[in-house]
Amino acid sequence: MFLPDCHSVRWQEFCYICGMTWNSIKTFLLLSTLTVLLVVIGRLAGGPVGMTIALIMAAGMNLVAYFFGHKIILWQYRAQPLPEREYKWLYDMTRRLTQRAGMPMPKLYLIPEAQPNAFATGPSPSQGIVAFTAGLLQNMNQQEIEGVLAHELAHIKNRDMLTMTIAATIVGAITWLVDMMRWSIFFRSGRDREDNGLSLVLAIVIGIVAALAATLIQLAISRAREYEADRTAALMVGSPDGLISALAKLQQLTQLIPMEHANTATAHLFIANPFGKAGDFLINLFSTHPPIPKRIAKLQELRGLGRQYRLA
Protein backbone atom coordinates (compact mmCIF):
# COMPACT_ATOMS: atom_id res chain seq x y z
CA MET A 1 0.00 0.00 0.00
CA PHE A 2 1.35 3.45 -0.95
CA LEU A 3 1.83 5.88 1.94
CA PRO A 4 2.72 9.46 0.98
CA ASP A 5 5.73 11.22 2.43
CA CYS A 6 4.08 13.88 4.57
CA HIS A 7 7.29 15.91 4.71
CA SER A 8 7.69 16.24 0.94
CA VAL A 9 6.95 19.60 -0.67
CA ARG A 10 4.54 17.97 -3.16
CA TRP A 11 2.50 16.34 -0.40
CA GLN A 12 2.44 19.61 1.61
CA GLU A 13 1.15 21.39 -1.50
CA PHE A 14 -1.58 18.77 -1.92
CA CYS A 15 -2.63 19.13 1.74
CA TYR A 16 -2.54 22.92 1.38
CA ILE A 17 -4.78 22.87 -1.69
CA CYS A 18 -7.30 20.74 0.24
CA GLY A 19 -7.08 23.13 3.17
CA MET A 20 -7.72 26.10 0.89
CA THR A 21 -11.26 25.01 0.26
CA TRP A 22 -12.10 23.67 3.73
CA ASN A 23 -13.04 27.04 5.25
CA SER A 24 -15.33 27.78 2.30
CA ILE A 25 -16.97 24.35 2.61
CA LYS A 26 -17.28 24.85 6.36
CA THR A 27 -18.94 28.24 5.83
CA PHE A 28 -21.40 26.73 3.34
CA LEU A 29 -22.29 23.89 5.72
CA LEU A 30 -22.79 26.27 8.64
CA LEU A 31 -25.01 28.57 6.56
CA SER A 32 -26.99 25.54 5.40
CA THR A 33 -27.44 24.46 9.02
CA LEU A 34 -28.68 27.94 9.92
CA THR A 35 -31.19 27.79 7.06
CA VAL A 36 -32.51 24.40 8.19
CA LEU A 37 -32.79 25.73 11.74
CA LEU A 38 -34.75 28.72 10.44
CA VAL A 39 -37.21 26.46 8.61
CA VAL A 40 -37.74 24.24 11.67
CA ILE A 41 -38.28 27.12 14.08
CA GLY A 42 -40.45 28.92 11.52
CA ARG A 43 -42.75 25.92 11.32
CA LEU A 44 -42.98 25.69 15.11
CA ALA A 45 -43.50 29.41 15.72
CA GLY A 46 -45.74 30.65 12.97
CA GLY A 47 -45.70 28.34 10.00
CA PRO A 48 -44.57 29.57 6.57
CA VAL A 49 -46.22 32.99 7.06
CA GLY A 50 -44.52 33.65 10.40
CA MET A 51 -41.19 32.50 9.05
CA THR A 52 -41.52 34.76 5.99
CA ILE A 53 -42.41 37.81 8.10
CA ALA A 54 -39.46 37.22 10.44
CA LEU A 55 -37.07 36.73 7.52
CA ILE A 56 -38.25 39.92 5.76
CA MET A 57 -37.92 41.99 8.94
CA ALA A 58 -34.44 40.63 9.73
CA ALA A 59 -33.32 41.01 6.11
CA GLY A 60 -34.49 44.62 6.03
CA MET A 61 -32.56 45.53 9.15
CA ASN A 62 -29.39 43.77 8.02
CA LEU A 63 -29.52 45.14 4.48
CA VAL A 64 -29.61 48.66 5.91
CA ALA A 65 -26.59 47.75 8.05
CA TYR A 66 -24.85 46.18 5.03
CA PHE A 67 -25.22 49.20 2.75
CA PHE A 68 -24.89 52.01 5.31
CA GLY A 69 -23.18 50.38 8.30
CA HIS A 70 -19.66 51.23 7.09
CA LYS A 71 -20.42 54.94 7.38
CA ILE A 72 -21.67 54.50 10.93
CA ILE A 73 -18.62 52.42 11.88
CA LEU A 74 -16.16 54.95 10.46
CA TRP A 75 -17.99 57.73 12.33
CA GLN A 76 -18.06 55.70 15.55
CA TYR A 77 -14.29 55.16 15.48
CA ARG A 78 -13.61 58.77 14.30
CA ALA A 79 -11.82 57.40 11.23
CA GLN A 80 -10.38 59.88 8.74
CA PRO A 81 -8.99 59.28 5.22
CA LEU A 82 -5.26 58.59 5.23
CA PRO A 83 -3.42 61.37 3.36
CA GLU A 84 -1.67 59.77 0.39
CA ARG A 85 1.18 62.28 0.41
CA GLU A 86 2.12 61.32 3.98
CA TYR A 87 1.51 57.59 3.56
CA LYS A 88 2.63 57.09 -0.04
CA TRP A 89 4.46 53.86 0.92
CA LEU A 90 1.19 52.39 2.26
CA TYR A 91 -0.77 53.39 -0.85
CA ASP A 92 1.96 51.88 -3.05
CA MET A 93 1.85 48.69 -0.98
CA THR A 94 -1.95 48.54 -1.33
CA ARG A 95 -1.81 49.05 -5.09
CA ARG A 96 0.76 46.28 -5.44
CA LEU A 97 -1.34 43.80 -3.44
CA THR A 98 -4.65 44.68 -5.11
CA GLN A 99 -3.11 44.35 -8.58
CA ARG A 100 -1.73 40.95 -7.61
CA ALA A 101 -5.14 39.88 -6.28
CA GLY A 102 -7.05 41.37 -9.24
CA MET A 103 -9.29 43.60 -7.12
CA PRO A 104 -10.13 47.32 -6.97
CA MET A 105 -8.14 49.75 -4.85
CA PRO A 106 -9.91 50.34 -1.50
CA LYS A 107 -10.07 53.59 0.43
CA LEU A 108 -7.64 53.81 3.35
CA TYR A 109 -8.58 55.33 6.71
CA LEU A 110 -6.82 56.14 9.98
CA ILE A 111 -8.41 55.49 13.39
CA PRO A 112 -7.00 57.65 16.24
CA GLU A 113 -6.56 54.76 18.69
CA ALA A 114 -3.36 53.69 20.46
CA GLN A 115 -4.22 49.97 20.31
CA PRO A 116 -2.75 48.26 17.21
CA ASN A 117 -5.64 46.93 15.11
CA ALA A 118 -7.34 47.20 11.72
CA PHE A 119 -10.58 46.30 9.99
CA ALA A 120 -12.15 46.12 6.54
CA THR A 121 -15.65 47.22 5.67
CA GLY A 122 -17.76 48.34 2.71
CA PRO A 123 -20.73 46.80 0.87
CA SER A 124 -18.70 45.45 -2.08
CA PRO A 125 -15.12 45.02 -3.36
CA SER A 126 -15.55 48.14 -5.50
CA GLN A 127 -16.44 50.12 -2.36
CA GLY A 128 -13.96 48.49 0.00
CA ILE A 129 -12.45 50.33 2.96
CA VAL A 130 -9.44 49.37 5.09
CA ALA A 131 -8.95 51.25 8.35
CA PHE A 132 -5.79 51.13 10.47
CA THR A 133 -5.37 52.38 14.02
CA ALA A 134 -2.55 54.84 14.68
CA GLY A 135 -1.14 52.28 17.11
CA LEU A 136 -0.77 49.67 14.39
CA LEU A 137 1.11 51.99 12.04
CA GLN A 138 3.39 53.07 14.90
CA ASN A 139 4.11 49.65 16.43
CA MET A 140 4.59 47.47 13.35
CA ASN A 141 7.21 47.34 10.62
CA GLN A 142 6.29 47.40 6.94
CA GLN A 143 6.39 43.60 6.56
CA GLU A 144 3.90 43.22 9.43
CA ILE A 145 1.69 46.01 8.10
CA GLU A 146 1.70 44.30 4.70
CA GLY A 147 0.47 41.08 6.35
CA VAL A 148 -2.33 42.94 8.16
CA LEU A 149 -3.27 44.85 5.00
CA ALA A 150 -3.41 41.62 2.97
CA HIS A 151 -5.65 40.04 5.63
CA GLU A 152 -8.12 42.94 5.38
CA LEU A 153 -7.98 42.95 1.58
CA ALA A 154 -8.73 39.22 1.73
CA HIS A 155 -11.95 39.95 3.64
CA ILE A 156 -12.97 42.35 0.89
CA LYS A 157 -11.98 39.96 -1.92
CA ASN A 158 -13.78 37.01 -0.27
CA ARG A 159 -16.93 39.15 0.23
CA ASP A 160 -16.98 38.30 3.92
CA MET A 161 -19.16 41.32 4.71
CA LEU A 162 -21.88 39.78 2.53
CA THR A 163 -21.41 36.33 4.07
CA MET A 164 -21.73 37.70 7.59
CA THR A 165 -24.78 39.78 6.58
CA ILE A 166 -26.52 36.62 5.31
CA ALA A 167 -25.65 34.82 8.55
CA ALA A 168 -26.87 37.79 10.63
CA THR A 169 -30.13 37.89 8.63
CA ILE A 170 -30.90 34.24 9.32
CA VAL A 171 -29.93 34.52 13.01
CA GLY A 172 -32.05 37.66 13.30
CA ALA A 173 -35.03 35.85 11.75
CA ILE A 174 -34.62 32.95 14.18
CA THR A 175 -34.48 35.40 17.11
CA TRP A 176 -37.68 37.09 15.88
CA LEU A 177 -39.42 33.73 15.61
CA VAL A 178 -38.34 32.64 19.09
CA ASP A 179 -39.63 35.94 20.52
CA MET A 180 -42.86 35.49 18.57
CA MET A 181 -43.23 32.01 20.03
CA ARG A 182 -42.67 33.28 23.58
CA TRP A 183 -45.19 36.10 23.24
CA SER A 184 -47.82 33.84 21.65
CA ILE A 185 -47.49 31.48 24.62
CA PHE A 186 -47.71 34.40 27.08
CA PHE A 187 -50.96 35.70 25.54
CA ARG A 188 -52.69 32.33 25.43
CA SER A 189 -55.60 31.82 27.77
CA GLY A 190 -55.05 30.09 31.10
CA ARG A 191 -57.05 27.04 29.98
CA ASP A 192 -54.91 26.60 26.86
CA ARG A 193 -51.77 26.75 28.95
CA GLU A 194 -53.12 24.16 31.38
CA ASP A 195 -54.25 21.79 28.60
CA ASN A 196 -50.99 22.05 26.67
CA GLY A 197 -48.54 22.71 29.50
CA LEU A 198 -45.93 20.18 28.43
CA SER A 199 -46.07 21.27 24.79
CA LEU A 200 -45.65 24.91 25.75
CA VAL A 201 -42.65 24.19 27.96
CA LEU A 202 -41.12 22.10 25.20
CA ALA A 203 -41.67 24.89 22.67
CA ILE A 204 -39.96 27.42 24.94
CA VAL A 205 -36.98 25.10 25.51
CA ILE A 206 -36.65 24.39 21.77
CA GLY A 207 -36.78 28.12 21.03
CA ILE A 208 -34.06 28.98 23.56
CA VAL A 209 -31.82 26.15 22.36
CA ALA A 210 -32.37 27.16 18.72
CA ALA A 211 -31.47 30.81 19.39
CA LEU A 212 -28.30 29.76 21.22
CA ALA A 213 -27.35 27.29 18.48
CA ALA A 214 -27.90 29.96 15.80
CA THR A 215 -25.62 32.40 17.63
CA LEU A 216 -22.91 29.76 18.03
CA ILE A 217 -23.11 28.92 14.31
CA GLN A 218 -22.84 32.62 13.42
CA LEU A 219 -19.70 32.90 15.58
CA ALA A 220 -18.27 29.74 13.99
CA ILE A 221 -18.79 31.29 10.52
CA SER A 222 -16.95 34.42 11.69
CA ARG A 223 -14.00 32.31 12.90
CA ALA A 224 -13.93 30.34 9.64
CA ARG A 225 -13.77 33.57 7.64
CA GLU A 226 -10.81 34.75 9.78
CA TYR A 227 -8.89 31.57 8.97
CA GLU A 228 -9.72 31.99 5.28
CA ALA A 229 -8.60 35.62 5.31
CA ASP A 230 -5.30 34.58 6.90
CA ARG A 231 -4.79 31.96 4.20
CA THR A 232 -5.67 34.35 1.38
CA ALA A 233 -3.37 37.00 2.84
CA ALA A 234 -0.42 34.59 2.83
CA LEU A 235 -1.11 33.82 -0.85
CA MET A 236 -1.46 37.49 -1.70
CA VAL A 237 1.86 38.44 -0.11
CA GLY A 238 3.65 35.24 -1.09
CA SER A 239 4.70 34.48 2.50
CA PRO A 240 2.90 34.11 5.86
CA ASP A 241 5.82 35.57 7.84
CA GLY A 242 4.63 39.19 8.03
CA LEU A 243 1.16 38.21 9.22
CA ILE A 244 2.58 35.71 11.71
CA SER A 245 4.76 38.41 13.25
CA ALA A 246 1.86 40.90 13.26
CA LEU A 247 -0.50 38.44 14.98
CA ALA A 248 2.11 37.71 17.66
CA LYS A 249 2.33 41.44 18.41
CA LEU A 250 -1.44 41.83 18.34
CA GLN A 251 -1.87 39.03 20.86
CA GLN A 252 0.24 40.95 23.39
CA LEU A 253 -0.65 44.56 22.62
CA THR A 254 -4.45 44.20 22.40
CA GLN A 255 -4.37 42.95 26.00
CA LEU A 256 -1.99 45.68 27.20
CA ILE A 257 -3.50 48.67 25.35
CA PRO A 258 -7.30 49.17 25.59
CA MET A 259 -9.31 50.60 22.70
CA GLU A 260 -11.28 53.58 23.97
CA HIS A 261 -14.20 53.39 21.56
CA ALA A 262 -14.40 49.61 21.19
CA ASN A 263 -17.89 48.19 20.79
CA THR A 264 -18.89 44.53 21.10
CA ALA A 265 -21.20 44.89 18.08
CA THR A 266 -18.24 45.71 15.82
CA ALA A 267 -15.53 43.61 17.49
CA HIS A 268 -15.82 40.93 14.78
CA LEU A 269 -14.63 43.39 12.12
CA PHE A 270 -11.12 43.78 13.53
CA ILE A 271 -8.17 41.53 12.69
CA ALA A 272 -7.82 40.85 16.44
CA ASN A 273 -10.44 41.10 19.17
CA PRO A 274 -10.12 44.72 20.42
CA PHE A 275 -11.00 43.57 23.92
CA GLY A 276 -7.94 41.32 23.95
CA LYS A 277 -9.91 38.29 25.14
CA ALA A 278 -8.16 34.95 25.24
CA GLY A 279 -9.15 31.96 27.28
CA ASP A 280 -10.39 28.42 27.53
CA PHE A 281 -12.62 26.37 25.24
CA LEU A 282 -15.86 27.99 26.45
CA ILE A 283 -14.59 31.54 25.92
CA ASN A 284 -13.28 30.62 22.47
CA LEU A 285 -16.63 29.02 21.60
CA PHE A 286 -18.35 32.39 22.09
CA SER A 287 -15.59 34.38 20.37
CA THR A 288 -15.77 36.03 16.95
CA HIS A 289 -12.06 35.27 16.39
CA PRO A 290 -10.09 32.02 16.54
CA PRO A 291 -7.32 31.96 19.19
CA ILE A 292 -4.28 33.77 17.79
CA PRO A 293 -1.89 30.86 18.60
CA LYS A 294 -4.06 28.59 16.39
CA ARG A 295 -4.04 31.17 13.60
CA ILE A 296 -0.26 31.41 13.81
CA ALA A 297 0.09 27.60 13.80
CA LYS A 298 -2.04 27.34 10.63
CA LEU A 299 0.00 30.05 8.94
CA GLN A 300 3.25 28.33 9.88
CA GLU A 301 2.04 25.24 7.99
CA LEU A 302 2.09 27.33 4.80
CA ARG A 303 5.84 27.94 4.92
CA GLY A 304 8.10 26.23 2.39
CA LEU A 305 5.42 25.21 -0.11
CA GLY A 306 7.80 26.05 -2.92
CA ARG A 307 5.54 28.33 -4.96
CA GLN A 308 2.71 30.82 -4.66
CA TYR A 309 -0.74 29.67 -5.74
CA ARG A 310 -2.85 31.76 -8.06
CA LEU A 311 -5.61 33.58 -6.23
CA ALA A 312 -9.10 32.61 -7.44
Domain-wise residue ranges, the chain: 15-188+206-300
pLDDT (tens digit per residue) in 108-127:
999 999 999 999 998 888 99
DSSP helix/strand/coil, 259? coil
Give the alpha-carbon dihedral of 257, 263, 267, 271, to 10 degrees: -40
**Cα distances (Å, whole numbers) of residue 116 to 83, 106, 181:** 19, 20, 44
Q: Are 103 and 95 in contact (CB under 8 A)?
A: no
pLDDT beyond 50 at 9 = no
Residue with more model confidence, 58 or 230? 230
**pLDDT at res. 167:** 81
pLDDT beyond 60 at 305 = no
pLDDT (tens digit per residue) in 212-246:
888 888 888 889 999 999 999 999 999 999 999 99
Residue 118: phi and psi, rounded to 5, are -165, 155
Mean of all residue pLDDT scores within the chain: 81
Lowest mean pLDDT among 16-30, 31-45, 249-263: 16-30
Per-residue confidence band for 192, with pLDDT thresholds at 50, 70 and 90? low
The residues, any chain, with a CB within 8 Å of residue 104's CB and separated by 6 or more, are 98, 125, 126, 128
Spatial strand order of the sheet with 129-133 comes to: 80-81, 107-111, 129-133, 118-121
pLDDT beyond 80 at 147 = yes
List the catalytic residues. 152
